[in-house]
Each structure stands twice: as structure tokens, then as C-alpha cells.
Amino acid sequence: MIVSRSLLKIAFLSVSSFFFSQEVNLKNIQKLTFGGDNAEAYFSPDSKKLTMQVTNPLIGAHCDQIYLLDLTKKNIGTKDLQRISNGEGRTTCSFFMPDGKHILYASTFESNKECPAKPKPRTDGKYLWPVYAEFDIYIADLNGKITKKLTDSPGYDAEAVVSPDGKYIVFTSSRSGDLELWRMDIDGKNLKQLTFGLGYDGGAFFSHDSKKLVFRSSRPKTPEGIKDYKDLLAENLVAPTEMEIYTMNIDGSDLKQITHLGKANWSPYFHPSDKSIVFSSNHHSTKGYDFQIYSIDLDGKNLHQITYESEFNAFPMFSPDGKKFVFSSNRHGETPHETNVFMADWVESDPAELVSEKNLLNTVSYLASDELKGRLAGSEGEDKASEYISKEFQNLKLKPLDGKNYTQTFSYDVKLNPHEDQSSVKVNTRNVIGYLDNKAAKTIVIGAHYDHLGLNEHHNSTLMNSEGQIHNGADDNASGVSAVLELARIFSQNKAKENANYVFALFSGEEDGLMGSKVFAESIKSKYPSVVAMINLDMVGRLNKNKDLTVGGVGTSPVFGEIIKKYKPAGFNLAVDSSGVGPSDHTSFYLKNIPVLFLFTGTHSDYHKPTDDTDKINFTGLKNITSYVFNLANGLASEQNIPFTKTKISASKAVPKYKVTLGIMPSYADTKDGLHIDGVTENRPASNAGIQSADILLRIGKCVVKEVYSYMDCLAKINSGDELPVTILRDGKEMTMNVKF
């Protein structure tokens, strides 16, 4: 991101079908229930029925009861639910037996035909689950007749599931004094304890090959956590706020913790391939209650968000044939916190579209290594960076900018001492541009700058006396480059052919005043079909614990406000800035009337210092931001029209503390013939006086303007309310206007 020396830059239904565009794995989503609390829906072996747990007084289910839903009926809804528990006590955790004609479920009815009381609200506000000691496991036919009782031991016995091969039942029991997983034969014989670690092991399901189990567990580690767990369990209560996903073999061996996400990760189920797991989690949440469904590989890699809509999505399950996906959600409820069952066609993810954290790490590690010595524009280190980027584009078979060359060379002068005319040096450098031609009618630019401060030769560091020290610029802006390269890989290697062409642009000279992006923006409209938007990633590597992400430029098109919210990653808090002008490369495109979006995770104590290193990058956050931009770019590609809107200039950290403003966007090149004006803001002094973009500012009153530094000196002498003659050069002719500041 551009440095503080550029102080004048300005920053920032019966069956109802639903489709939420970001939920690409779910197609033809159908709402199956309407009203009440409907959850834990599981398929029959032939995929034609669901059994589920329902509380809905309107249909007589005043306390959790088990219902059957026939999926072969037309116009499915709550009216089609058929109760198959006996209507007494509280029931939970139903599952079909192998014959498809009987179900398992747990019930308290033998202890008390009335519904057991829920836990009383705690004075400490802690959220708790009851584990009723009265629960036992039963088998019933589909008419509700109980045919067998499987457990008769004191304590909690529930959460029973059947292996796909029909040999075993696994359930959770407190018979050992702790909540552990147990296994029995399908007839209830040959009990075997599978888990032994202190904590609540539950919600188990078999893999499709019947060889493994996946489950969630709370495993307290600290003395305080252990005491709290034991004290609550003594009251038949658990706190389901810290749970992770585990797998093991069906004999209890090879126990592995799959997630290390924190908070509550639960309701896991194996993907039909048995190579990944779907589960519900609130690990992403920074504010309030928010559960989304994710998938993760068995090695704990490739965490992928599946649901985005509403604040509760859980209990995912695949049909035995792998074609359907059922889950419970708060979406589209008629009353607050209403939970209904939804079913969708499952669509496999394109593996190429999964953002690789390893790729991001590799790119940042190389660009921010000491070998490149800070990537100063025009330096040998920056040349190495441009060669690295060009090679990546070549490997991805992107089209070069011209012929076989991915680079766009240019030069500019930069003054090393604003008070010495003889301190100006020429910088010869290059942008690196790759083009994905989808033969579409419109084009979207995704860009970042790859230069940084080098050894502070241009005196842009925020650390005093840091000349000679390497400024690696991991966040600024190796992070943005890594995201652009990963997006280039995804868009060029995936199976889809998007409705837009994509330009992947890596700019040089940003730290000296947006030099590279200005050069590229000058001719972009003539090079590519209908450039409709530019997305700029600058400093996106330091997502904080609150997941605060600034999105600038939102006011530059009326479609942006809705689209940035639609694709927002779970748990992210967006700080929205409408202005199209800011301290980074998107400004150059905004000034050419192109709608822009600017993503930025904020400044920090290492900003423009030698300490901006790779080990401080939040790569998980960077991965999620990269995925966000992928979805944004896809969403924009589908928009029929992205109109451009001029915006007001908003304040930022880079706004100078002057008494007046002229209202121009200055060029930062050391031009010596006056200050070249890149843009003019409406309803500001320059605009009101008739000054235009591309004019060259020569004098303000008697104060001579040679470049940006003398302009700043002149501006500092003016008071609000002053009216002065301002001389500009337009098309080779001098003109003087009266400007009221």
C-alpha cells in the first residue's frame, strides 16, 4: 500500500424451492417442513423416506417426537409427517434399521410419560444440553409399534446409528460413568466400549464402507474445564460449546482428531467418498450465534464452507445413493428461530476451485524473502518477482499482454528529497499482466501491486533511520499478489467457463504513487472487451481475530452493495467504504470511470517497516479472502449490467491535515513541468473553478508548483475562504481561474 509520503492520497409452498447463489454444492433446495422445530432428518436405505425429530404443537408434537416423511409424495410438507414414536416422554436420535421397515430411537417414556423438564436458565447464562438419564434405545416399526428394547442400563443411552453393512449399532452411553461411544451387534448383543477419554463423545456415524466412525467430542484439558465438565455431568448436563471432530476405526483403534477449529464443531457425517466429512460449526463466528455447514478432508485439510444463508445450519446427511443432501436450517422461517428440514441435490465441488493455503504460503514466502531484498520498483529483486509472476502466468497458459511478453515496461522519475531538485532518479520497471480469454462480452480486472520499499532507497519507510534494512513487505503486498495468482490458477484451471474474461494485473511503482496501475489503466479499455469492474487486493494478509475486512469502492456501482454482502464469508465483519478513491491501485481505474472494489485488512505496527514478514501473515484469513474474491468475481460475471457511479471522497488514514483542499488527484511522478492532475473531485474548489483531469497545475497565486511536493508546500500556506488565481496548462495553453478555497 502506498506510503505516507503521498499524503494527498484519499483513502476509503408445498414443496418450496430455494437457491442461494453462494451455496454451489446445493442445487434445487426444497423446504420439507413448515413450522416448529424439525431436526436430525436421516434417510431410509432406499433414499425414499426420512425420519426426523419434531417439536410442533400445531401437529400435536408438544415434546420431541419421531416422525416419518415419505419423499415419493408430491407437494411434500408438514401435513405429510407421520408420527412413528409413541407420543409419550421425549424422544431423540432416530435412525433406520437395515430393512427400512424399522427405526431406532431413544425415549424417556418408560420413566415418565410426560415430557421431562428442560434445564432451568443459568445465572451465568451458560448454554447447556440435558443428557436425560431416562433415555433408552428402542426399535419400532413404521406404524409406531415398539418391537424391541435394546438398552436397559441406568443412565443415558441414546444417539444410536446403524452401520451400512447392517452388522453394528453404535450409540452414546453414560454407563461407564462418562459419556462414551459403545458398539453392539445389530441384535443388541456383544457390547463393546469404544472411547475412553474424559468428555462427551457422541453424534457418531459410520463411513459408507462401515470401517470407520466419525463423531464429535468435548475433551476438557484444563483442571477448571475438567471440574466444570464433571460437575455438570453429575446434574445430567453438558456444555456443548467446545467440541471437535474425531474419527476412529469401528473397534475404537486409530483415534484421530480431524478439526482443531475451536468453539463447537458437531453433527458430522461422511461424504459418499469416505474421504471427507461434512459437519456444522460456529468456529468462524465473531458475533452472536452462527452455525454453518462445512466439509473437511480426513487429513484435516481443505476446509470448505457449504452453507451461507441464515444463522443455523446443521445435521447434514447424504442419501445412501449420494445424490441428495438433507439438513436443518433456520432459513425461510415464518417465526424467529424456527428450524425446518431442507433437501437438495448434491453438486460436487470442482477441486480446482478450492483455494490452496499452501500456494498462498509459497508465493508470500518467496516474494517476501530476503533474496528479493524488498522488491523496490526497478530493482533486481523486483525483476526476480516479475519473472516469478510471468512464469506462473505462463504455466497457467494465460495470454500475454503483447505477443509472448507478460510485462508492460514503463519509467518514471521519483524525487528522493522533496527539497532538492537534483535528487530525482529515473525508475525503469514493469507491470506483469495475464489474460484469461473466455470469449465473453465483458472483462473484469483482478489486481495487486508487487513492488515494495526495498532497502528504503526511496525513503518510504515508517521506521526512522531504516536505510539499508530489507523491507520484505509480506502483507504489503505479497499477500495481495499471492491471492491474485491463486485466483488466476482457479479461473484458468477450473471446469467452468465464466461469463467474463479476467485480467490478472500485478503492478509496479505503487509505493511511489500508483505509477504502474496508472499506466495500465490508460489503455485498458482499448485492449480488452468492455472492462466492467476492477478488484484490488492490497494488504489482505493480516485479518484480525474479529475478522474485520474493509471493502472500499462499494459506491462506485449500485450492484456492489448487495453483492459484497451476499458472498461474505461466515463470521466476517465488513467495513464498507463507498469511495472509489483510496491509497491504492484501484484509484487509477476509478479515475477512468471503471467501478472498483478494494479489499484491505487494515494497517498494523509493521506497516512499511522491516518487520512486515511472512511469519505474521494470517494464511487462513488470506485463504478465506481469496475465496471471497473468487465468489465476488463469479457473481459480477453473472451481472447483466455493472453501471459506474461517481462517489464522494471519504476520509482515511492518509488524509493530510491541511486547512484547505483543492479537490484533485495529483500524479506523483517527478515531472518538473508542473503537477499533472489525474482526477478532479466534483463540487470541490478545482471542479467549481473549471479545472479538469489531465490539466497541469503551474501556480497557486504566486506559489510555483513543479510537482507534488511543491504543491503540498503551496497548499499549506492557504487558509479557508481564501480566493486565489490558479494557473494551469491545458493542451499546451496556459489558463488562469479564480479558485475559492
Average pLDDT in the 523-543 region?
A: 94
Q: Give the domain ranges of the chain.
A: 359-638, 664-740
Q: Given pLDDT bands bounded at 50, 70 and 90, which one contains residue 641?
A: very high
Q: What angle do CA 283, 284, 285 make, to 5 degrees?
A: 95
Share of the chain above pLDDT 70, in %: 95
* Residue 471 · residue 374 · CB < 8 Å: yes
CA distance 608 to 426: 22
More confident residue, 274 or 669: 274
What confidence score (pLDDT) does residue 335 get?
Answer: 87
Counted residue by residue, the chain has a size of: 741
CA distance 403 to 138: 73
Element (H, E) at 724: strand 723-730
Average pLDDT in the 356-371 region?
A: 97
> Minimal CA–CA distance to 149: which of 187, 206, 177, 111?
187
* Identity of the highest mean pLDDT range in 244-253, 414-423, 648-657: 244-253
HEC string of 264-304 equals: EEEEEEECCCCCEEEEEECCCCCCCCCEEEEEEECCCCCCE
What confidence score (pLDDT) does residue 5 get?
Answer: 37
β pairing state of 244-249 and 256-257: antiparallel
> Minimal CA–CA distance to 510: which of 501, 502, 521?
521
Indicate whether this model's pTM tops 0.75.
yes
Asked whether the CA dihedral 568, 573, 577, 581 is positive or negative, the reply is: negative
Average pLDDT in the 102-112 region?
A: 96
Ramachandran angles phi, psi of 632, nearest 5°:
-60, -45
Q: Evaluate if residue 3 carries a pLDDT over 70.
A: no
CA distance 2 to 507: 12
Query: Is-cis flag, bond preceding 405, omega within 30?
Result: no
More confident residue, 520 or 401: 520
Average pLDDT in the 531-546 region?
A: 96
More confident residue, 397 or 16: 397
- The residues with which 244 forms a beta bridge, in sequence order, are 217
What confidence score (pLDDT) does residue 123 get?
Answer: 77
Residue-wise pLDDT tens digits, 224-251: 999 999 999 999 999 999 999 999 999 9
Q: Which of 271-280, 461-470, 587-596 shows the lowest per-residue confidence on average (mean pLDDT)? A: 461-470
> Minimal CA–CA distance to 450: which of 356, 355, 516, 404?
516
**Architecture of the domain made up of 359-638:** 3-Layer(aba) Sandwich (3.40)
Q: Given pLDDT bands bounded at 50, 70 and 90, which one contains residue 654?
A: very low
Share of the chain above pLDDT 90, in %: 77
> Minimal CA–CA distance to 455: which of 510, 376, 508?
376
Q: Evaluate if residue 334 carries a pLDDT over 90.
A: no
- Residue 627: helix, strand or coil by DSSP? helix
What confidence score (pLDDT) does residue 697 get?
Answer: 93
Q: Evaluate if residue 312 carries a pLDDT over 90.
A: yes
Average pLDDT in the 494-504 region?
A: 95
Ramachandran angles phi, psi of 590, nearest 5°:
-60, -40
Residue-wise pLDDT tens digits, 598-630: 999 988 889 999 999 999 999 999 999 999 999
CA distance 374 to 471: 5
Q: What is the mean pLDDT of the chain?
A: 91
Q: Given pLDDT bands bounded at 50, 70 and 90, which one contains residue 288?
A: low
Q: What is the dihedral of CA 660, 665, 668, 671, to 10 degrees?
A: -100
- Residue 574: helix, strand or coil by DSSP? strand
Cβ neighbours, 10 Å, residue 463: 16
Distances (CA, A) of 707 to 218, 697, 712, 713: 64, 9, 9, 10
Q: Evaluate if residue 444 carries a pLDDT over 70.
A: yes
What confidence score (pLDDT) does residue 248 get?
Answer: 98
Q: Which of 31-35, 50-54, 287-291, 482-486 shows the lowest per-residue confidence on average (mean pLDDT)? A: 287-291
List b or e across 566-580, with b for residues whose CB sees 16 or more CB atoms inside 10 angstroms.
ebbbbbbebebbbbb
Fold of 664-740: Pdz3 Domain (2.30.42)
The radius of gyration computed from the CA coordinates of the chain, to the nearest angstrom, equals 31
Average pLDDT in the 396-418 region?
A: 90
Residue-wise pLDDT tens digits, 457-476: 998 998 888 999 999 999 99
Q: What is the dihedral of CA 539, 543, 548, 550, to 10 degrees?
A: 10
One-letter amino acid for residue 282 of the chain: N
What confidence score (pLDDT) does residue 649 get?
Answer: 63
* Residue 504 · residue 524 · CB < 8 Å: no
Residue-wise pLDDT tens digits, 685-728: 998 999 998 899 999 999 998 877 678 888 888 888 889 999 99
What confidence score (pLDDT) does residue 669 get?
Answer: 64
HEC string of 123-183 equals: CCCCCCEECCCCCEEEEEECCCCEEEECCCCCCCEEEEEECCCCCEEEEEECCCCCCEEEE
Q: Evaluate if residue 670 carries a pLDDT over 80.
A: no
What confidence score (pLDDT) does residue 1 get?
Answer: 61
CA distance 277 to 710: 62
What confidence score (pLDDT) does residue 19 get?
Answer: 43
DSSP string, 673-721: SSEEEEEE-TTSHHHHHT--TT-EEEEETTEE--SHHHHHHHHTT--TT
- Residue 442 is classified by DSSP as -
